[in-house]
Every structure is written in C-alpha cells, then in structure tokens.
Amino acid sequence: MAVDVRWATTEDAAALATILCEMAAHYRQAQLDHGRALAAARHWLTDESPAYPHFALAFAGGEVAGLASVAIAHPGIDLERLMFLKDLFVREGARNQGAGRALIAFLAGHCLSHGIGRIDLTTEDWNDGARRFYTQLGAERHGQKIFLRLSGEALKTVAKS
C-alpha cells in the first residue's frame, strides 16, 4: 500500500480528530467525543507555534492511517536538538502495511535535514507490538531514564509552591 506522510495543517483537523478518538480507545482511555476532539485539533493546528509542526499524518488510499505527535527540545546533552515522539499510532485496519514505518522515516528525514540529532520515545510496557516495531527499526532500550509524570493534584500543588 502506498503511504503518504505530511505535517498536519488546519485542513487536516477532521482526520486528526478521527485518529485521536481511535487512539484513546486503543490506549484504554475514556471514549473521546469526536466534536471535542475536532475542536481541540482545530485549536492545536491553528494556535500552536508554527516553528515546529506537532503532528505528522500518514494517509493510505485517501484515508488517514496513522499519526505521529512530536515535540522538538533544545538542546540535548551534546548541544544537538532532539525530537521527542510523544505518540505514534496507526489505525487498526492500516497496521502492518507500512504506515508506521513511513511515519518514522518521515520524522527521521526531518531530523536529518534540520540538524536534530536523535528521536527519543517511550512505549507502554504492555505494548508488545510497539516494542517489537521499534526494535526492528534499530531503537535501543535506554535504561538510564525513568519515566515520571506530574499531573492532577500534584501538578496543582507544585504550581502553588
């Protein structure tokens, strides 16, 4: 299957909303309302910093097949920027057909052409398919970091301190 990947634009808000809803279900989150997801997608694609697009979308057969959500951090330890891959998601009907690999290749090409030295990412410990996929691409498990999160009440408490 031919897969086309591009940075999402405001015209892609509906496609982004659709895939965000499917992604929430896959990651065992509460069902997202499509209208709410569409409003968020429109906001993110119009009001966020244009310096670095945040979403790459893969399309196959005219339909959205996958999503990569990224952020660029300045600088890395070696004074090179890094790309943090927050989420890579491929719709169930498009899995194992090249959409994930096409998204990663697109991101890697962007990194190489913009002086970004690496892509860092995480995956859930239960997601065997994702771990196999990243290992096949040559990603190495980096055991020096522990993933932590500030959210909810802890986030509110820290903000007040």
Q: How far is CA 61 from CA 30, 52, 82, 104, 130, in A?
A: 29, 27, 32, 19, 23
CA 127 to chain centre: 15
pLDDT at 143: 77
Q: Write the pLDDT tens digit of every residue in 94-147.
A: 998 999 999 999 999 999 999 898 899 988 888 888 888 888 888 888 877 777
Rounded CA-CA distance 25/67 in Å is 15
Structural fold of domain 3-160: Aminopeptidase (3.40.630)
Percent of the chain exceeding pLDDT 70 equals: 96
Task: Spell out the domain ranges in the chain.
Answer: 3-160
Distance CA 141, CA 144 (A): 9
Contacts for 14 with CB less than 8 Å, ≥ 6 apart: 38, 41
Is the separation of the CB atoms in 94 and 102 below 8 Å?
no
**Please, what is the Cα angle at 144 between 140 and 149, to 5 degrees?**
105
Going by pLDDT thresholds of 50, 70 and 90, the confidence category of residue 52 is low
- What is the pTM (predicted TM-score) of this model? 0.87
